[in-house]
Structure 1
Amino acid sequence: MLKIEGLDVSYGAAQVLRGVSLTAQAGQITCLMGRNGAGKTTLMKAIMGLLPPGAGSIALEGTLLSDLPPHEVPKQGVGYIPQGRRLFGELTVAQNIEIGLMTRGGDAALREELLEIFPRLRERLGQRADTLSGGEQQMLATARALALRPKLLLLDEPTEGLQPSMIEVIRQVVLTMRDRGVAVLLVEQRVDAVLDMADRVFVIEMGANRDEMDRATLRADPGRLRAHLGV
């Protein structure tokens, strides 16, 4: 479903991604891993159109996302939960969700579905987003992305800094989206979490493809992944 081919991305004169290729299939969890500074977040931003490619292409179901301006990418069904959440802090929980719903014509039924997934947000609808706890902010960022009814869901280290109970909530949402046929692309640093969920793992190093493993390989030889990450 998502197909990235030969992607180069730079920040000014500093090239970060070098010929990266990656695929993510519908109904699967694809994990992107690498040491700090490998280019994982840069790749996510490039998919969203926030960084222009110097070469290569990014396509979703045949539509070239790399040809679209950033505001058009979510309309193609790409939900993005960035590192740091990037909520509209001065707006309420309800308003943040509404922004997500407006992007692809979500209705009251979808809003209710999201509040059933995250019942704590129902209790906070009138509260400003920047006054929520870290876990609640992650719930809201996830709900906003799911409000697009995404075909592709991008998550950049969604469990970073969260307590175990909140990590499990996010994990269950990811598994549910996979089971609904969504293509999930997950940046995650915790090897144990990846071994538990991933259908496929791509490892990048210094902005280039380093390794690719499917579920069977991960189960048979988890040390291969740990060796790349130095853990």
Structure 2
Amino acid sequence: MLEVSAINVAYGHAQILRDLTFSVKAGEILCLLGRNGAGKTTTMKAIMGLLPLLSGEVRLDGQKISSLPAHQIPKGGIGYIPQGRRLFTELTVAQNIEIGLMARGSGREVLHDVLALFPRLRERFHQRAETLSGGEQQMLATARALCLRPKVLLLDEPTEGLQPSMIEAIREVITVMRDRGVAILLVEQRVDAVLSVADRVAFIENGQNLETLDADVLRADHTILERHLGV
């Protein structure tokens, strides 16, 4: 589904990613884990074409997408929920979702499906996004991305700063999308959240691969997390 092959990325003269390689299959949740500054958010931006690659490539369903302009990549079926959500806060919930629908020409049936996943957004449909709680804003950012009917969903720390009930709501939606066959790449600092949803975990450090393991291995042996993360 999504293949990231030996990508190298730099900010100016500082190289951040070094031959980073991984893949995410349809119906799988792969979590990127690493210490702060390991290159996780940079990886997300590189996949979305927001940062140029020095070398390497990104493929979706076998087709190279890393040479496409950034605005074309979501149209191919990649939804991205960045850290900080990036909503149009002065617009209503309905208008934010409409932007997501327009991006890939989705119809009313997609709208109804998204609102079924997030019933609280239906209640807030005509409120401005800036009036929502942090958890509701995260729901809206996720709903907008799902309007693309994505094959692949990228989430960058979706539970950051949320209360437990909101974390559980987001976790349930991520699991539903995985069960529908969506490939999910998750960046998450909360180890408990990772272990509750991930199928595999890829550890990175200084922009390089360390190892990729089945999440069941980590659930059984927490010393691996201690070795890589110090937790």
TM-score, L = length of structure 1: 0.97
Per the alignment, in what secondary structure is the counterpart of residue 125 of structure 1? coil
Q: Deviations over 1:99-119 (max 9, x none)?
A: 111111211111111111111
Between 36-45 and 189-198, the greater mean CA deviation after superposition: 189-198
Q: Deviations over 1:68-92 (max 9, x none)?
A: 1010000011011100100111211
| Separation in structure 2 between the aligned mates of residue 216 and residue 135 of structure 1, nearest angstrom | 29
Corresponding residue for 1:3? 3
Per the alignment, in what secondary structure is the counterpart of residue 9 of structure 2? strand
Q: Percent identity?
A: 66
What's the Cα RMSD here? Answer: 1.0
| Separation in structure 2 between the aligned mates of residue 190 and residue 223 of structure 1, nearest angstrom | 16
Distance 1:65 1:226, change over 3 A: farther
Corresponding residue for 1:107? 107
| Separation in structure 2 between the aligned mates of residue 223 and residue 60 of structure 1, nearest angstrom | 34
Instruction: Give the AA of the match of 1:77.
Output: G
Corresponding residue for 2:94? 94
Alignment of 1:186-201 (within 5 A): 186-201=186-201
Corresponding residue for 2:13? 13
1:58 aligns with 2:49: no
Per the alignment, in what secondary structure is the counterpart of residue 8 of structure 2? strand
Alignment of 1:124-203 (within 5 A): 124-203=124-203
Q: Deviations over 1:31-86 (max 9, x none)?
A: 00100010000000001100010010011101212111010000011011100100
How big is the shift at 1:219? 3.1
C-alpha contact 1:191 1:226 (8 A) present in aligned 2: no
Q: How many residues align?
A: 231
Structure 1: which 5+ runs fail to align?
none
Structure 2: which 5+ runs fail to align?
none
| Separation in structure 2 between the aligned mates of residue 205 and residue 49 of structure 1, nearest angstrom | 22
How big is the shift at 1:196? 2.0
Corresponding residue for 2:67? 67
TM-score, L = length of structure 2: 0.97
Between 154-163 and 96-105, the greater mean CA deviation after superposition: 96-105
Corresponding residue for 2:212? 212
C-alpha contact 1:195 1:222 (8 A) present in aligned 2: no
Extract structure 1 runs of 4+ deviating beyond 4 A: none
Q: Deviations over 1:142-171 (max 9, x none)?
A: 000110111000000000000000000000
